[in-house]
Amino acid sequence: MMLMTTAESLVITSEAIAIQPVPMLTGVKSFGDINDDVAKPLESFPTWRWWAVFSMAIAAFVIGLALATKMFTTGMGVLGINHPVGWGVFIVNFVFWVGIGHAGTLISAILFLFRQRWRTAINRAAEAMTIFAVMTALIFPVIHTGRPWYAVFWLLPLPNERGLWVNFRSPLLWDVFAVGTYFTISLVFWFVGMIPDIASVRDRAKHKIRKFIYSVLSLGWNGSNKNWRHYEAAYLLLAGLSTPLVLSVHSIVSFDFAVSNVPGWHTTIFPPYFVAGAIFSGFAMVVTLLVITREVFNLKSYITIGHLEKMNKVIMATGLMVGYAYACEFFIAWYSGNSFERFTFINRAFGPYWWAYWTMATCNVLIPQVFWWKKARTSLPVMFVISLFVNVGMWFERFVITVTSLHRDFLPSSWKYYIPTIYDWGITLGSFGWFFIWFLLFCRFLPIMAMAEVKGTMASHVNTNGGEKMAREAAGHA
């Protein structure tokens, strides 16, 4: 049961009402070409470019690891956190990375249910990004605790002889369940979705060990009708399960803040605001990664400008939602008459952390407005730069929320500025290293694009006359 829609999408330009189809698959590609384009990089030794980036990622990770080791052995004091700012860069990183993950699930699950076929070229890489982002995010709640060697056990409701339970009323516990569930479901969904493609790679494998590993990973897929029926059903179910997670996981993460009583945190707008922000930053990260990936792995025919443009539109939309949320917060702080709230927001914009606030506002609200122009939406350099700005802005948004609210709360006698130290930044760098190590390994060992899904949804555009391969061979003979 394949979902059939047209492989074209509609776009309305500013000049005319005329509808122009934007091609979602360019070039002359046959089914075989699709396999070759995606699987070939897995079969050859990685290029020097891959090694260069990989070694940078390893270096970043090692720096983070070294600093983290010092932190584990001497104490949390090497960071910048203090009284009253108990949460700093680490929690900002946690929310940042978890947020990024939501884009992948939205592309994989929600766009699937909405029958947006164009998702098939990007969903594998996006979902991989989600998995690795969540893996990176999960580091932080563990290492930001004073005694992580206990935290990893005691935050889980493991049976014990003393009858000790965790505190189910605490949002941090909800995080454990939410992010844990999110990771599990995303991993299963991603893996199950990949089975037919891994099977393709297995079938092409020449080397004995290679064939063995991919055989194990493909769980004995044989391409039969029965396999495909089970696959489709499982895929739909998992998409259905993942969909609510897009909205719930970051809402739960936002409860870490919203359920507390700190002015600037304690507000009901947080769940939708955070979810919108998550999708905003997640799509920006996907754009950043894909602009590079499609270039390096030569997937420009599949991950077209059209795809990127659509993603930029989502960035626009969610960016506007985030901008609206900022305005809403200010309005409600004034309207509430609560002087703590009013002070908090004035302090954000004009207090000691004004520089963080204005960075956030510029990067998140002002800069993405460029995407109103189609030229900007479809220009690779522009969208790459803007996606980076968006992520910087979103990082600062979490920083503003976490730090400015904590550093000046109820009792003025406890007010104090917070300055992250080299350990904060170094371990953040390490987290980026960790993320990119996994992503690069993914690029090296697993099919970046969902071959089977693309073949299915782009069938009408696929060349049945042998495609590029045949054309090349013919040219070679002639």
Alpha-carbon distance of 275 to 258, in angstroms, equals 13
Mark out the alpha helices in 144-224 (DSSP H runs): 148-154, 171-204, 208-217
84 is a site residue for another protein (CB under 8 A)? yes
367 and 389 Cβ atoms separated by less than 8 Å: yes
Which C-beta is closer to another protein: that of 337 or that of 381?
A: 337
- Smallest gap, in angstroms, from Cβ of residue 330 to another protein? 18
Of the pair 72, 330, the CB lying nearest another protein is at 72
Residue reference for tokens 């305005």:
327
Query: How far apart, in whole angstroms, are the C-alpha atoms of residue 190 and residue 235?
Result: 9
* 218 token code pair: 């493909």
Name residues contacting another protein, limited to 217-256 (CB under 8 A).
256
Q: Which stretch binds another protein (CB under 8 A): 112-120, 171-179, 219-227, 393-401?
A: 171-179
Per-residue contact flags (x/-) with another protein for residues 317 to 356, judged by CB under 8 A: --------------------xxxx--x-------------
Q: Which of 22, 56, 63, 172: binder of another protein (CB under 8 A)? A: 172
CA distance 119 to 128: 14
Residue 180, interface with another protein (CB under 8 A)? no
DSSP state of 460: G
87 is an interface residue for another protein by CB under 8 A: yes
Binding piece for another protein, criterion CB under 8 A, among 26-34, 60-68, 72-80, 375-383: 72-80
- Residues whose CB is less than 8 angstroms from the CB of residue 456 and which lie 6 or more positions away in sequence, other chains included: 2, 120
CB-wise, 91 or 443, nearer to another protein?
91
What track of x and - describes contact with another protein for positions 128 through 167 (by CB under 8 A)?
Answer: -------------x--xxxxx-xx--xx--------xxxx
User: Which is closer to another protein, CB of 298 or CB of 339?
Assistant: 339
Phi, psi of 131 (to 5 degrees): -55, -50
Q: Which residues pair with 10 in a beta bridge?
A: 21
Q: End-to-end CA distance of the chain: give it in Å, rounded.
A: 42
In angstroms, rounded to a whole number, what is the distance separating the alpha carbons of residues 92 and 253? 11
CA–chain centroid gap for 299, Å, is: 20
| Residues found near another protein in the complex (CB under 8 A) | 74-77, 80-84, 86-87, 141, 144-148, 150-151, 154-155, 164-167, 169-173, 176, 256, 259-262, 337-340, 343, 406, 408-416
